[in-house]
Amino acid sequence: MVVSAEKSRQGQPSLCFSRPVGSTVPAASLPAEDLLFNLQRFPSEGCWAFCRFASEEVPAVRMGFQKGGFNIGAFEYDPDPSLLQLHLEIMCRDGGVLWLPTGRFPAGRIEFDDSSRSVILRHNSRDILRVHGWPKMEWHFQSDDGEAEVRLETTVNSVTVLPDCLLPHCVFAMWESMGTARGTVRWQERTVAVEGSIFYDHPRVLCRSNAVTPRVMYLYTTMRFEDGSGIFGYHAVDAEASPIAYYCFGVHVDPKGNGRFLPAARLDGLLIDRDSLPCAWRLAWGDDLLQVEADVRVQDLGILRSWGSPHAPVQRGEYSIIPLVLDCDARVSERGQPAHSLRGRGLAEYFNAELWKL
């Protein structure tokens, strides 16, 4: 059992956003300074969507970009400010279709239109990515060869500011939102209608040295339950497998979009598969009023095709942050009342520094 001994730093000022850590606001009320990209202050910002659908043929999609390099490791090196990290990952019934052209397009090619809340990347007269609007958004991502494409209409209800993740050479901060998604996913000639959930986050990075223990592993878990509620959160540990307490937390979102920050977390029963990736675990989050516990199972999905750069992984075990398509059985209890059971679907990301290739 891996337990966070201290509570996360709820209520403290965020280093990158105007709202304090753990606070939730309606998405339509999010201040522009927290929504728009600040290219002068932050050397790296991003836009990421974790989508989980009811479709058996295409159960999940992860897509997004991160503008500007940053150092997430323990050793010093100079990150490349012109780096554009870019992912379009379609998890099909038969395996992942992963277009990973990180390093192909300069970060300066991204266009920002604050008036329309749009972010665009064009290449050879083709929109590679376009994210438009807020809090109703249109997402359009496609590979430059036209093999893979995602078009979604999404709506998010509320936004929660997460704790700043203090790394030895930077601060990684983000807010997270949860909502609905519907649209189409295309892989080659096959187009599939999808409907489900989106977890959308906006990361910001500050370059700053911090006297902290390096984060060696984290498990980022997003789940939507059958009653319309959901939860997302992180569990991070150091090289001794001890929890990094302030970065072990969850946020519960009720069916109306009201968020509750849960500053205590517990991870146990973590099972690792043949590719050194998690295949099952139990997570629990809580405070004095609300407790959420989930037994998670990961679908056994390999890589169907991976392309976009010479470094695109061929085998599942080569890609430690492959999207983990999950199903869960959860229990939620409030104010000491008996727990009620819920089924859920989600998407997770697992980072292990020993598996990660810089």
Tell me the per-residue pLDDT of 157-190, one tens digit each, with 9 for 90 and over: 999 999 999 999 999 999 999 999 999 999 999 9
Predicted pLDDT of residue 125: 87
Q: Hey, what domains does the chain have and what are their CATH numbers? A: 2-352 (2.40.370.10)
Measure the CA–CA gap between 146 and 129, rounded to whole angstroms: 12
Q: Which residues pair with 155 in a beta bridge?
A: 136, 180
Residues constituting the chain = 358
Per-residue pLDDT tens over the stretch 275-308: 999 999 999 999 999 999 999 999 999 999 999 9
Is the pLDDT score of 6 beyond 70? no
Helical (H) or strand (E) element with 35:
helix 32-35
**In this structure, are residues 128 and 158 in contact, taking their beta carbons and an 8 Å threshold?**
no
pTM (2 decimals)?
A: 0.95
**In this structure, are residues 192 and 4 in contact, taking their beta carbons and an 8 Å threshold?**
no
Per-residue pLDDT tens over the stretch 228-271: 999 999 999 999 999 999 999 999 999 999 999 999 999 999 99
Q: Quick one: CA dihedral 123, 127, 129, 134, positive or negative? A: positive
Q: Residue type for 266, please?
A: R
Q: Which residues pair with 24 in a beta bridge?
A: 160
Structure tokens at 138: 């249109």
3-state secondary structure of 309: coil
Predicted pLDDT of residue 72: 80
Q: Which residues pair with 199 in a beta bridge?
A: 50, 178
For the ranges 43-52, 66-75, 120-129, 244-253, the lowest mean pLDDT is seen at 66-75
Q: Residue type for 183, please?
A: G
Measure the CA–CA gap between 332 and 195, rounded to whole angstroms: 25
DSSP one-letter string for 176-187: EEEEEEEEEEEE
- Mean pLDDT to the nearest integer, 106-113: 93
Region at 198 (left for phi over 0; alpha for psi -120 to 50; beta for the rest): beta
